[in-house]
Amino acid sequence: MRARLALLVAAVSVLTLIAFLVPLALLVRTVAEDRATVRATADAQSLVPVVGTADAATIRLTVEQLAAESGRPVSVFLPDGTVLGAQTPRTPAVALAARGQSLTGESAAGREVVIAVQGRADGTGVIRIVVPQHELTAGVTRAWLVLALLGVILVLIGLLVADRLARTLVRPISDLSAVSHRLANAELDARVTPAGPAELREVAGALNHLATRIQVLLVQEREQVADLSHQLRTPLTALRLEAESLRDPDDAARITAAADGLERAVTGLIRQARWRHSPAAAPATSDAAAIVADRVAFWSVLAEDTGRAVTLDLAAGPIPVGVAADNLTAAVDALLGNVFAHTPDGTPFAVRLAQDAGEVILTVADEGPGMPIGAVRRGASAAGSTGLGLDIARRAAQAGGGRLELRTGPGGGAQVLLRLGPPTSTREAEAPRPRDA
pTM, full prediction: 0.46
Q: Which fold has domain 286-372+388-420?
A: Heat Shock Protein 90 (3.30.565)
Spell out the residues 6+ positions from residue 403 whose beta carbon is closer than 8 angstroms to its own. Answer: 394, 397, 419
CATH code for 1-141?
3.30.450.20
Q: Which fold has domain 186-280?
A: Helix Hairpins (1.10.287)
Q: Which H or E element spans position 125?
A: strand 123-132
In tens digits, the chain (437 residues) has pLDDT values of 677 777 888 888 888 888 888 899 999 999 999 999 999 999 888 888 988 888 888 989 998 898 888 888 999 999 888 888 888 888 888 888 888 888 888 888 889 999 999 878 788 889 999 998 888 888 899 999 999 999 899 888 888 888 888 887 788 888 888 888 888 887 888 888 888 778 888 888 898 898 888 888 887 777 776 666 656 666 767 777 777 777 777 777 777 777 777 777 666 666 665 555 444 445 578 888 888 888 888 888 888 888 888 888 888 878 888 888 878 888 888 888 888 888 888 888 999 988 887 788 889 988 877 765 445 454 444 444 445 667 778 888 887 788 888 888 777 788 888 888 887 655 544 444 444 43
Handedness of CA 402, 403, 407, 409 (dihedral sign): positive
Closest to 74 (Cα-Cα) out of 130, 32, 120: 130
Q: Which H or E element spans position 415?
A: strand 414-420
Spell out the residues 6+ positions from residue 181 whose beta carbon is closer than 8 angstroms to its own. Answer: none
**pLDDT number for residue 385:** 46
Q: Which H or E element spans position 118?
A: strand 110-120
**pLDDT number for residue 379:** 45
User: What does the domain layout of the chain look like in residue ranges?
Assistant: 1-141, 186-280, 286-372+388-420
> How many other β-carbons are positioned within 10 Å of the β-carbon of residue 90?
15
Spell out the residues 6+ positions from residue 154 whose beta carbon is closer than 8 angstroms to its own. Answer: 13, 17
- Rounded to whole angstroms, how far apart are CA atoms 193 and 129? 77
Quick one: DSSP state of residue 307? T
| Cβ atoms 367, 409 nearer than 8 A | yes
Cα 435 to the center of its chain, rounded Å: 23
| Cβ atoms 326, 332 nearer than 8 A | no
> What is residue 352's three-state secondary structure?
strand
Quick one: DSSP state of residue 236? H
Spell out the residues 6+ positions from residue 90 whose beta carbon is closer than 8 angstroms to its own. Answer: 77
